[in-house]
Amino acid sequence: MNFVQETVKQILDGVEREGVAKILSYTRQFDGVELDPGQILVSVDSLPVPAVPPAAKEAVDFACEQIRMFHQATKPETVISVDPVPGLHLEERLIPLQRVGLYVPNGQYPLISSLLMTAIPATVAGVENLSVAIAPKMPLDLDPLWIYALKATNVKTVLRVGGAQGVAAMAYGFEGFDPVELIAGPGNQFVAEAKNELFRRGIVGIDVIAGPSEVLVIAGDLTSPEIETAALDLLAQAEHAADTHAYFVSWSQKSVSMVQNRVQQWVKDYDGILGQIDWIFVSGPEEALKVAHRIAPEHLSLTGPEAEELAPRIKSAGALFVGRLAGQALGDYAAGPSHVLPTGGTGRFSGGLATRTFMRRMSVIAADDRLPDEYLNAGKVLASLEGLKFHEQSLKTRLQQKSSPRYQP
């Protein structure tokens, strides 16, 4: 068990055992904020409508509209029914979760997009009770942009608790707050480990296994505008954190050199933290596709003349961006699909956050006396082959009841 895992385990166990007392203690220890018990929960309805700059309001409203539109369009049917024969009715139902907790980082700037990209899909899915954990700052008043976005996304409650303790508070609940059924949203390594550990314990569902952010750009011969946007796509991903990873994969040595030069020019006067950028030269598009499948990045960008031709062949990525104008920053904010995506190669077997994330499947099997005997007979034989006596007998009894309504055991 490494340092992060050990620390998170202690936090989760502490919140589970001691509730509010530990929540307040960890908030004091990790965030340097002293809270009273009554300051943990904030009802969004009780917050005054904030004054927000018109440009910010317009941008939030536009993003909300696009995200809502996409998720309404892609929401799956909630009931799919099949009647294979008279007497047998089958259904698959998608049922919205009732209580969902969202984690939204609260760093130097309010990450409004992370709230929109989780809360709106949950609301479209039919979740009625949405709560958000946000690390507290002094003064305790929420940024007006936070309040505006919270009201725009149907969030009911804010927890002034961040980090692993915020995740634990939502999962285990405490006085005045019932546990949630699923936790979604990005966070640092402690937040990610808390979500994973709570899922392993069977306490709560989670959206995706989140790790350091990634982008992989595939390109052949590029024009000057494409060189510029490719360089900025790499840097836009690298600026997330020191552990982010960007890859430029190309069969054009000229494109590699020119994008490298443009990146160097952009960062010359940049004093922030940047993640790693790897430059991968390949023999052609086929090898580029193999590299992409092996890495299965969070974001995969296709640019250059081959972009549309290669797009249908991409099978392993959290999200695919096709064409010069489709940078991942567009997907991060205003295109519509959620930017909460699988990382660390998990795009090979999982997808990003969507309405389905906030719904659970339930099968329904209904049968009456018209049910053909073949169904019961087949089950009876299979139960016998598996040595399950009472499975076999339960089906045998139903066959007898069907043939003789007055059957008595």
The catalytic position among 193, 197, 245, 299 is: 299
Q: Sign of the CA dihedral 66, 67, 68, 73? A: positive
Q: Are 352 and 341 in contact (CB under 8 A)?
A: yes
Spell out the residues 6+ positions from residue 97 whose beta carbon is closer than 8 angstroms to its own: 125, 127, 181, 182, 205, 358, 359, 360
Are 185 and 118 a contacting pair, CB within 8 Å?
yes
Do residues 129 and 156 lie in contact, with contact meaning Cβ atoms separated by under 8 Å?
yes
Tokens of 39: 């300051």
Tokens (6 digits) for 324: 């010069």
- 247 annotated among ligand-binding-site residues: no
Distance CA 370, CA 109 (A): 64
165 is in an annotated binding site: yes
| 237 is an annotated ligand-binding site residue | yes
DSSP 313: G
Please indicate whether residue 193 is annotated as part of the active site: no
E-assigned strand segments in 34-147? 41-43, 79-85, 88-96, 99-103, 129-133
Catalytic residue among 193, 197, 298, 392: 298
386 annotated among ligand-binding-site residues: yes
- Known catalytic residue: 197? no
- The side-by-side arrangement of strands in the sheet containing 88-96 is 79-85, 88-96, 359-367
339 is an annotated ligand-binding site residue: no
> Does 213 show up as a binding residue in the annotation?
yes
Q: Per this entry, what is the length of the chain?
A: 409
Secondary structure (DSSP) of 143-206: PHHHHHHHHHTT--EEE---HHHHHHHHHH-BTTBPPPSEEE----HHHHHHHHHHHHTTS-EE
The answer to whether 207 is annotated as binding is no
Positive or negative: CA dihedral 6, 9, 11, 14: negative
How many angstroms separate the CA atoms of 64 and 384, rounded?
56
188, 2 in Cβ contact below 8 A? no
Is 401 annotated as a binding-site member?
no
Q: For the sheet containing 41-43, what is the strand order?
A: 41-43, 157-159, 129-133, 99-103, 182-184, 205-206
- Report the 10 Å Cβ neighbour count for 219: 25
Binding site for Zn(2+): residue ranges? 237, 240, 332, 391
Binding site: residue ranges? 103, 165, 188, 213, 237, 240, 299, 332, 386, 391
Binding site for NAD(+): residue ranges? 103, 165, 188
Residues that are catalytic: 298-299
Binding site for substrate: residue ranges? 213, 237, 240, 299, 332, 386, 391
